[in-house]
Chains A and B, each alone.
Chain A
Amino acid sequence: MAEPILALKNVTKHFGENTVLDDIDLSVHQGEVIVIVGPSGCGKSTLLRCVNALEPIQGGEIYLNDEKIDIKSKKLANLRQKIGMVFQSYELFPHLTVLENIVLAPTKVQKRKKEEVQQEALALLGRVGLLGKEGSYARQLSGGQKQRVAIVRALCMHPEILLFDEVTAALDPEMVREVLDVMLNLAAQGRTMIIVTHEMQFAKAVADRIIFLDGGKVLEDTKPEVFFEAPKTERARQFLSMFEFNVVKSQVEKVSS
């Protein structure tokens, strides 16, 4: 198998006394879509934040293409350009237009030509169905639109890997779909992605591999068919059962009749 793009080796992370990530090993290969699921507080968001060095780790190492990601390194900004991240709360810059939001980092960080980046930005906005919104401000957009802009902003940096941190968790149900569709498209293009989500149907559809995280440990690392049909651990079975609803109505009727 080829060398992984991203490799986590024995990564450990504490918040004070709490161990949030406990000896995590994970490698991600070119074109792979990895979906991380698990109960709240299991460390899945923290894991993404550590990959991008938004959180310091207390043990282990993270490599992007054999380059170590170190929060103190001078080359950190350089490495971060290769990692695109999309947050739950969009985090567009409110004082800039949609187009300025997208163009800022490519022109200031990568020193690319403004015209070229703008053209690319407009093409990408077209692909996510937002052409015509380039002059708008974030406050004029819906949640789903903001999140699609945030995805385009990350894409325009030409990242080698994309991280999605519960990007639909703050959205109204009808907007979830438009964002997930964009992500499905990206997966179909062969993008390398790590996705943290609570949308199990989506996870099943998009993932090459599912990572089940609980208590800061990787309990399962397997194909989605296996994970959803026949999870190995009791914790995963319990977790998945939370997304199922037993039909209670017929039982009520039975009792009353």
Chain B
Amino acid sequence: MLDLGLEVLSKGNNMLRLLGGLWVALKISLLSVGISIALGILLGALMTWKNPVTKAILRVYLEFIRIMPQLVLLFLVYFGTTKAFGWDLTGEMAAIIVFVLWGTAEMSDLVRGALISIPRHQYESSEALGLTREQIYFYIIIPQALRRLIPLSINLITRMIKTTSLILMIGVVEILKVAQQIIEANRMSSPNAAFGIYLTVFILYFIACWPISMIAKHLERKWR
């Protein structure tokens, strides 16, 4: 039989270590997602304001974050701030900061898009029915904006989970790093472990992200 090196998984607590690594990745991404959604909604709502100064500042922030590769941002926050300001950030902390900066920027743009996509007539016909400003937002605008937002933001969440694989570059021991360690340690006894272990990592990422995109698909169909 083809040797995929899968037996390495059952050695010691290797599988548990991989799952632990997955948990680190998920913990960082879910924490960042939570904070990003809250801040993103706030900034997104601010972006629909007519104030040109707030608009310009938020625009620059969004473009800056979008253009920067996430890895560069990670290096900038992890290594750069240590040198420049003497901050002693842990790798996880630096990762969360970068992911929140990134997630907030993308989320705010999604929120802005969802809010401005509600036609002006929806406001007018609600006004004509005598609804107050608060009622219009609560019963008409926000429910419609959320329906447009959820599939898009779920896409962002899965992207954030996947991108956590970069944080091994700043020394965080997440799933990919654990995988590398296991492969290194078994280089002599199971030279084929690379395939089996990375395959397992792939499957674990899939198991983590697939249900989330299924939810998105389901909601999209339901709210079409």
Asked if A pairs with B, the answer is: yes
Binding site for B on A (CB under 8 A): 52, 54, 77-78, 80-81, 83-85, 87, 89, 91, 93-95, 104-105, 108-110, 139, 150, 153-154, 157
Q: Compute how far the CA of A77 lies from the CA of B128 in the bound complex, rounded to whole angstroms.
A: 8
Q: Compute how far the CA of A54 lies from the CA of B123 in the bound complex, rounded to whole angstroms.
A: 10
Q: Compute how far the CA of A87 lies from the CA of B129 in the bound complex, rounded to whole angstroms.
A: 12
- Min CB–CB distance B151 → chain A (angstroms): 14
Contacts A93-B122, A93-B140, A95-B143: A105 and B223 contacting too (C-beta < 8 A)? no
Q: Compute how far the CA of A154 lies from the CA of B124 in the bound complex, rounded to whole angstroms.
A: 13
Q: Compute how far the CA of A109 lies from the CA of B132 in the bound complex, rounded to whole angstroms.
A: 8
- Min CB–CB distance B131 → chain A (angstroms): 6
Interface presence of B48 (CB below 8 A): no
Q: From A81, A87, A104, A150, give the contact of B124 (CB < 8 A).
A: A87
- Interchain Cβ contacts under 8 Å between A and B, 29 examples: A52-B128, A54-B127, A77-B130, A77-B131, A80-B127, A81-B129, A83-B128, A84-B128, A85-B125, A87-B121, A87-B125, A89-B121, A91-B122, A91-B124, A93-B125, A93-B126, A93-B140, A93-B144, A95-B143, A95-B144, A95-B223, A104-B129, A104-B131, A105-B129, A109-B129, A110-B130, A139-B224, A154-B129, A157-B129
Contacts A95-B144, A95-B223: A157 and B121 contacting too (C-beta < 8 A)? no
Identify the closest chain B residue to A106 (Cβ).
B129
Q: Compute how far the CA of A98 lies from the CA of B126 in the bound complex, rounded to whole angstroms.
A: 15
- Pair A109/B130 contact, Cβ less than 8 Å: yes
- Pair B129/A80 contact, Cβ less than 8 Å: yes
Interface presence of B139 (CB below 8 A): yes
Interface presence of B147 (CB below 8 A): yes
- Min CB–CB distance B54 → chain A (angstroms): 25
Q: Compute how far the CA of A165 lies from the CA of B147 in the bound complex, rounded to whole angstroms.
A: 29
Q: Compute how far the CA of A52 lies from the CA of B124 in the bound complex, rounded to whole angstroms.
A: 10
Candidate in B124, B147, B223, B224 with the most chain A CB atoms within 10 angstroms:
B124
B interface: dominant SS: helix
Interface presence of B90 (CB below 8 A): no
Interface presence of B135 (CB below 8 A): yes
Across-interface contacts of A54 in B (CB, < 8 A)? 124, 127-128
Across-interface contacts of A83 in B (CB, < 8 A)? 128
Identify the closest chain A residue to B224 (Cβ).
A139
Across-interface contacts of A139 in B (CB, < 8 A)? 224
- Min CB–CB distance B20 → chain A (angstroms): 42
Q: Compute how far the CA of A136 lies from the CA of B125 in the bound complex, rounded to whole angstroms.
A: 19
Q: From B122, B125, B139, give the contact of A108 (CB < 8 A).
A: B139
The list of the 7 closest CB pairs from A to B, nearest first, reads A91-B125, A81-B130, A105-B129, A85-B128, A80-B130, A109-B130, A77-B130
- Pair A94/B124 contact, Cβ less than 8 Å: no
Q: Compute how far the CA of A80 lies from the CA of B127 in the bound complex, rounded to whole angstroms.
A: 8
Across-interface contacts of B143 in A (CB, < 8 A)? 95
Q: From B130, B140, B147, give the contact of A157 (CB < 8 A).
A: B130
Across-interface contacts of B128 in A (CB, < 8 A)? 52, 54, 80, 83-85, 87
Across-interface contacts of B127 in A (CB, < 8 A)? 52, 54, 80
Q: A85-B128, A93-B144, A109-B130 are in contact. List 4 more A-B contacts (CB 8 A).
A: A85-B125, A89-B121, A91-B122, A150-B125
- Pair A108/B135 contact, Cβ less than 8 Å: yes
Identify the closest chain A residue to B143 (Cβ).
A95
Candidate in A78, A80, A150 with the most chain B CB atoms within 10 angstroms:
A80
Q: Compute how far the CA of A109 lies from the CA of B129 in the bound complex, rounded to whole angstroms.
A: 8
Q: Compute how far the CA of A154 lies from the CA of B125 in the bound complex, rounded to whole angstroms.
A: 10
- Pair A105/B131 contact, Cβ less than 8 Å: yes
Interface string of B111-143 (1 = CB under 8 A from A): 000000000011011111111100100011001
- Min CB–CB distance B126 → chain A (angstroms): 8
Q: Compute how far the CA of A85 lies from the CA of B126 in the bound complex, rounded to whole angstroms.
A: 10
Candidate in B125, B127, B129, B144 with the most chain A CB atoms within 10 angstroms:
B129
Q: Compute how far the CA of A53 lies from the CA of B121 in the bound complex, rounded to whole angstroms.
A: 14
- Pair A104/B130 contact, Cβ less than 8 Å: no
Identify the closest chain B residue to A157 (Cβ).
B129
Q: Compute how far the CA of A139 lies from the CA of B124 in the bound complex, rounded to whole angstroms.
A: 20
Identify the closest chain B residue to A156 (Cβ).
B129
Contacts A104-B139, A108-B135, A109-B135: A91 and B121 contacting too (C-beta < 8 A)? yes
